[in-house]
Amino acid sequence: MNQSIFNHLFARSLAVLMALVLSVSVQASTEHQHEEQHSESNHGHNELHQDEHDHQEGHKDSHGHKDEHDHEDEHGHDEHEEGQVHISAEQMAISGVMTDSAQAGEIKKVLTLYGRTVLPEQNVSHVSARFAGLITKLTVEVGDKVQAGQKIAEIESNASLKRYGITAPISGVVVSRHGNVGEMVSDKTLVSIVDSSQLWGEFQVFHGQKNRVAVGQKLSVNFEQLRTTSTIQYLLNPMGNEAYLRARVPLDNTEGHWTVGALLSGEVTLSKHNVALAIDNRAIQIMEGQQVVFVRNEEGFEKRIVTLGKKDSQKTELLSGLAEGEEYAVEKSFLLKADLEKSSAGHVH
């Protein structure tokens, strides 16, 4: 091979080699640039994703955490206020809410009897004229109070034409009048007088009860808001077709609180049981199936669940829920219950 041909081949080989090297270099540069762009793109995407994640976390912190915190605060407040009735001493006086304190007491086993008030027979007087004649004077009206021995009428006798007076045989109130001046009167009742300052409480005692009732026993007598204690003075045998005995107890009515014919309930104490703590029955209210009492505090009253034991018509043994000396609502305690139920209904959401 001559020198010219050799040179020509060497030049072509060198050109091919250079082209190959340049192609590889360009491809490597292009791939490196593509990788950098892809890396930057991924980095941007990751940053965007991280930003979105951070934003969501921040959103969660600013909303979810706050809501949860607020929710806890709100419920913490509700729990603090649950069962609380706000009422001032002035409002208590206006509404009639009265209190008592938890103390040791006595629970009684009693027998309940029923009856009514009756007039003692000697406290009713029907006044009539001794001799038939003309009424010349009648000085009393229905409703007037009279005293025993007071002159209430004057009659002119038909037989002697002489006038004689009629006096009240007992003290009391005139409840009826059957004549007027100028009228003739014979043996009919002219005036009726009733003395109701003393009454009988007359109670029915049936066959199954009579062995537990005896003369001399104390009996608590109740009529609406009236309450007194008396002693059984008589046990009267049945009259006619009566199926019961009648237990009579005297009632002092000088203040006029008792009315004739009033329906009564009475309790004979059969046994007594001392307890460490007792509360008034009027204090006990039922809320959501639980027995509760409203206990006085600085803001008014708080609802307190109680456990109860033995009871009678007035008091109930307190097993748990109050300490000795704690003040609780008695009179009108149902108003506190109503206020609390109304408040609870208003917070339902």
Higher-confidence residue of 76 and 211: namely 211
- Using CA atoms, how far apart are residues 105 and 92, in angstroms rounded to an integer? 26
Higher pLDDT pick, 163 / 45:
163
pLDDT for residue 8 is more than 60: no
Residue 32 has pLDDT above 50, yes or no: no
Percentage, residues of the chain above pLDDT 70: 75
User: Which pLDDT score is estimated for 96?
Assistant: 92
* Burial (Cβ within 10 Å: 0-12, 13-18, ≥19) of residue 316: buried
In Å, what is the CA distance from 290 to each residue of 5, 75, 282, 300?
120, 23, 15, 21
> Span 195-219, mean pLDDT?
95
Q: How confident is the model at residue 10 (pLDDT cuts 50, 70, 90)?
A: low
* 123 vs 311: CA distance, rounded Å: 39
Nearest residue to 202 (alpha-carbon basis) of 115, 111, 112, 113: 115
The more confident residue out of 85 and 78 is 85
* pLDDT score of 60 more than 70: no
Q: How far apart are CA 326 and CA 100, in angstroms?
A: 8
Given this model, what pLDDT does residue 339 score?
87
pLDDT of residue 37 exceeding 70, the answer is no
Q: Is the pTM of this model over 0.75?
A: no
pLDDT at residue number 52: 46
Residues 6 or more apart whose Cβ sits within 8 Å of residue 8: none
The arithmetic mean of pLDDT across residues 105-134, rounded, is 95
Q: Give the torsion sign (CA, 129, 132, 134, 136).
A: negative
Q: Is the pLDDT of residue 40 over 80?
A: no
Mean pLDDT of the chain: 82
The residues near 272 (Cβ < 8 Å, ≥ 6 apart) are 106, 107, 108, 109
Above pLDDT 90, what percent of the chain? Answer: 67
One-letter identity of residue 152 = I
pLDDT, tens only, 182-196: 999 988 899 999 999
- Give me the pLDDT at residue 29, please: 45
- Tally the C-alpha atoms within 13 A of residue 32's C-alpha that lie toward its C-beta: 6
Task: Write a three-state SS string for the chain.
Answer: CCHHHHHHHHHHHHHHHHHHHHHHHHHHHHHHHHHHHHHHHHHHHHHHHHHHHHHHHHHHHHHHHHHHHHHHHHHHHHHHHCCEEECCHHHHHHHCCCEEECEEEEEEEEEEEEEEEECCHHHEEEEECCCCEEEEEECCCCCCEECCCCEEEEEEECCCCCEEEEECCCCEEEEEECCCCCCEECCCEEEEEECCCEEEEEEEEECCCHHHCCCCCEEEEEECCEEEEEECCEEECCCCCCCEEEEEEEEECCCCCCCCCCEEEEEEEEEEEEEEEEEEHHHCEEECCEEEEEEEECCEEEEEECEEEEECCCEEEEEECCCCCCEEECCCHHHHHHHHHHHHHHCCC
Rounded CA-CA distance 139/153 in Å is: 6
Mean pLDDT of 217-245: 93
Report for 48-52, 81-85, 261-265, 338-342: range of highest mean pLDDT? 261-265
* pLDDT at residue 12 in the model: 59
For residue 151, name the pLDDT band (cuts at 50, 70, 90): very high
Q: What is the mean predicted confidence (pLDDT) over 254-270?
A: 94
